[in-house]
């Protein structure tokens, strides 16, 4: 285990500052990496809703990146967009299954006019419904970014 968990980086395990990292230093970095992974959003995606069409521009999540991993978008009328995952778990490259339940979200609308967004999260059905309104409280379609934890 000359390179530890950081292969191919030259961070050798050893007992001194000239020979490499001590086991305590390696354990501290590993614990910090896990803490960072647990505190970042599970998924972030940007979409545009225009009429009955929902277009996902980009998706980045702990389950992968790209449209193949993104939730399925469904239009619920003007200003209403729903997204849902087909499964409550994802597999990594090694075949390890990671279950997830969305608990919190943040919606950031894009545009030149003032737009407000709220959401309804259902962690049992793995879905989120996003509601978007303009400054006159009228439902409106727009582009938005979703962060979900």
- What are the pLDDT digits (tens) for 121-142? 987 788 999 999 999 999 999 9
Tallying the residues shown for the chain, one arrives at 149
pLDDT at residue 18 above 80? no
| pTM for the model | 0.75
CA 32 vs CA 4, 25, 27, 36: distances in Å: 16, 11, 9, 6
Residues in Cβ contact with 113 at an 8 Å cutoff, skipping those fewer than 6 apart: 134, 135
Q: Which pLDDT belongs to residue 1?
A: 47
Residue 6: pLDDT band (50, 70, 90) is low
Sequence-distant (6+) residues with CB within 8 A of 149 are 41, 42, 102, 103, 104, 105
pLDDT tens per residue, range 54-66? 999 999 988 888 8
Span 10-39, average pLDDT? 78
d(CA 4, CA 116): 47
Average pLDDT, the chain: 86
Mark out the alpha helices in the chain (DSSP H runs).
Answer: 23-39
The mean per-residue pLDDT over the stretch 1-6 comes to 54
């Amino acid at each position: 285990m000359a390179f530890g968990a950081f292969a191919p980086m030259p961070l050798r395990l050893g007992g001194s500052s000239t020979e490499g990292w001590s086991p305590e230093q390696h354990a501290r970095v590993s614990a910090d990496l896990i803490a960072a992974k647990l505190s970042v959003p599970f998924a972030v995606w940007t979409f545009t809703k225009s009429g009955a069409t929902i277009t996902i521009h980009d998706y980045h999540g702990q389950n992968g990146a790209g449209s193949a991993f993104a939730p399925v978008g469904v239009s619920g009328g003007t200003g209403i967009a729903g997204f849902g995952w087909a499964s409550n778990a994802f597999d990594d490259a090694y075949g390890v299954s990671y279950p997830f339940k969305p608990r919190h979200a943040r919606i950031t609308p894009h545009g030149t006019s003032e737009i407000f967004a709220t959401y309804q999260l259902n962690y049992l059905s793995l879905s989120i419904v996003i509601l978007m309104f303009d400054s006159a409280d009228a439902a409106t379609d727009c582009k938005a970014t979703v962060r979900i934890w």
